[in-house]
Amino acid sequence: MISQPSYPRAPIDQAGLAQALMPFGQSRMLPPGAYTDPAVFDWEQRCFFGGGWLCVAHSSQVAKPGDQRAEHIGQGSVLLVRDDDGVLRAFANFCRHRGHELLPCGSTAQRNTIICPYHSWTYSLSGGLRFASGFKGRAGFDQSSWGLVELPVAEWHGLVFVDGVDSVLGADSAGLEAPSAGFSAVLAAPVELPRKSVAYQPEPLSWKPAAVTCLT
C-alpha cells in the first residue's frame, strides 16, 4: 500500500465543487475560483504540482552524461543531471552556499560539473561539492556535508518523473513503481515511448481548460 501525504483541502467553493463532481450529464463546470483565484493556484503549486510524482521531462532531453536541465516543480525547481555513469539524478535547483539558482528554469547545459553562477561553487554530476571558493582549508568546513539536495527521480517508458514531496511537505516519498503499475501494461508494447523524442515545445498555457476539454 502506498503511503500518501495528507494535503490541506483546496480553498474552493465546496458546493460548486460538489456540482462539478456529479455524474456525467448532471455535472457543471468547476467554480470560477478554480480558474482565477490566486489562493487556488497557490494550493495547486504546493499540493498538486509539488506534492508527489510529476512528469518533468522526456529522457531524451537529458540523454548523455553531463546533460543538465532545469524545470519547474511546484513552487520550486528541479535540476535534472545525467551523471558520469549514465544515472539520472534530480537535485533541488539551488546552491548550498547562498541558495542561488543553479540553472534558470527551462534552460539546459552540457558540462562535466555543475557550477553555480554566483560564486562558482562547483559540484560533481552526482551532487558532491568539489570546489567552494573562499572556503578552502577553512577550519570546521566539512566539504562532504555540502552536496546538493537530491530528490527522488525515476525514468518510466522514456518519461522522467520527480517526486518533490520530501522538499515540500517533509513526508516520505513512495516509489513510482506502485502508482505506475496499472499503466505499464497499457503503454509498454503499443506506445514505446522510449523510442520517441521531443519534437514540440508547448507554449505556456492554462492546463486546466485543456484537461477539461480532453476529459469531457
Contact residues for ligand FES, defined by CB under 6 A: 95, 97-98, 100, 116, 118-121
Compute the least distance from the CB of residue 152 to ligand FES, in Å.
Answer: 24
Task: Output 102 or 165, the one with its CB closest to ligand FES.
Answer: 102
DSSP state of 15: H
DSSP state of 69: E
Using a CB cutoff of 8 Å and minimum separation of 24, what contacts does 28-36 make? 29/212, 30/208, 30/212, 34/208, 35/206, 35/208, 35/209
Compute the least distance from the CB of residue 131 to ligand FES, in Å.
Answer: 10
Q: Distances in Å between the alpha carbon of 120 and those of 85, 130, 132?
A: 24, 11, 7
Task: Output 23 or 137, the one with its CB closest to ligand FES.
Answer: 137
Task: Output 122 or 197, the one with its CB closest to ligand FES.
Answer: 122
Compute the least distance from the CB of residue 68 to ligand FES, in Å.
Answer: 15
Compute the least distance from the CB of residue 177 to ligand FES, in Å.
Answer: 35
Task: Output 100 or 157, the one with its CB closest to ligand FES.
Answer: 100
Contact call for residues 78 and 104 (beta carbons, < 8 A): no
Compute the least distance from the CB of residue 45 to ligand FES, in Å.
Answer: 24
Q: Which of 119, 117, 93, 97 is nearest to 106 (CA)?
A: 93
Task: Output 4 or 133, the one with its CB closest to ligand FES.
Answer: 133
d(CA 129, CA 115): 10
